[in-house]
Amino acid sequence: MSAAEPSGIWAVVPVKSFAAAKQRLAGAFSPRQRHALVRAMMRDVLVALRATRGLDGIVVVTADPEAGLLAREHGAQLIFERDVLGLNTAVAEAAGRLAAQRVGGMLVVPGDVPMATPVEISALVSSHPPGVAVSLVPAHDGQGTNALLVSPPDVMAFSYGPLSCALHVATAEMLTIEPMVHDPAGFPGLALDIDLPADIERLGRLAPASHTRRLLEAEGLLGVASGARSTG
């Protein structure tokens, strides 16, 4: 990635290999449908980030060549994950690279929040305090971390996984940083990560059009919470 002035904020989008992703949807989606879904979700996230004011760049961290290609098509830079060691390692790798480039802040948005909007993301960025700071948007259940904005990028260790929101808050507090924790109700798109069939129903209740929504409609999967999957 090219060096930025030491003040800018870059978005980081971690994307697991398409074939390995979203195992918790395996009961309701065929492998082909899951592949198409993660691809569509990644496109939606990149489109939203690209339309967001206040970001200096976007970088995708992935080991998947197809995701790498998609990243390039959407104007994102790429960190190729040579060893796949999990989400925390992938995000830490991006943080180290951005910090080495003297980028001011890192906004982590996972590839599975397809309803995130540029308005939501820019609200998060514009409310982020100056200096050393941590802002986050929890998942709608209050447990996960759907957006994490840290400055500088390598200010803290990452704890994605179960209860990551509480763990990120605790980590910031141990560094004597009072994190800005937003109410997920104010960020309905960003707060909706697609993990379970019930999340597809939640997505169906949100209005904005998206690649993901069109795909689910075309496959007849919108509103199918736990039913039998179609062929494919």
Q: Smallest distance from the beta carbon of 7 to ligand GTP, in angstroms?
A: 26
Cβ(220)–Cβ(230) under 8 Å? yes
Task: Say whether residue 29 binds ligand 3PG (CB under 6 A).
Answer: no
Q: Segment contacting ligand 3PG (CB under 6 A): 32-40, 65-73, 160-168, 211-219?
A: 160-168
Task: Say whether residue 106 binds ligand GTP (CB under 6 A).
Answer: no
Q: Segment contacting ligand 3PG (CB under 6 A): 32-40, 100-108, 138-146, 205-213?
A: 138-146
* Distance separating alpha carbons of residues 127 and 199, to the nearest angstrom: 27
For the record, the structure tokens of 172 come out as: 């910031």
Residues in the chain: 232
Task: Say whether residue 154 binds ligand 3PG (CB under 6 A).
Answer: no
Task: Say whether residue 24 binds ligand GTP (CB under 6 A).
Answer: yes
Task: Say whether residue 10 binds ligand 3PG (CB under 6 A).
Answer: no
Q: Which of 11, 33, 55, 81 binds ligand GTP (CB under 6 A)?
A: 81
Tell the burial category of 18 from Cβ atoms under 10 Å away from its Cβ (0-12, 13-18, 19+).
buried
3-class state of residue 130 by DSSP = coil
Q: 3-state SS of 31-86?
A: HHHHHHHHHHHHHHHHHHHHCCCCCCEEEEEECCHHHHHHHHHCCCEEEECCCCCC
Q: What mask of x and - would describe binding to ligand 3PG in positions 167 to 196, judged by CB under 6 A?
A: --------------------------x-x-
Task: Say whether residue 14 binds ligand 3PG (CB under 6 A).
Answer: no
* Distance separating alpha carbons of residues 222 and 232, to the nearest angstrom: 16
* Distance separating alpha carbons of residues 43 and 116, to the nearest angstrom: 11
The one of ligand 3PG, ligand GTP, none whose footprint includes residue 21, by CB under 5 to 8 A per kind, is ligand GTP
Residues that bind ligand GTP (CB under 6 A): 14-16, 21-24, 61-62, 81, 84, 86-87, 90, 110-112, 195
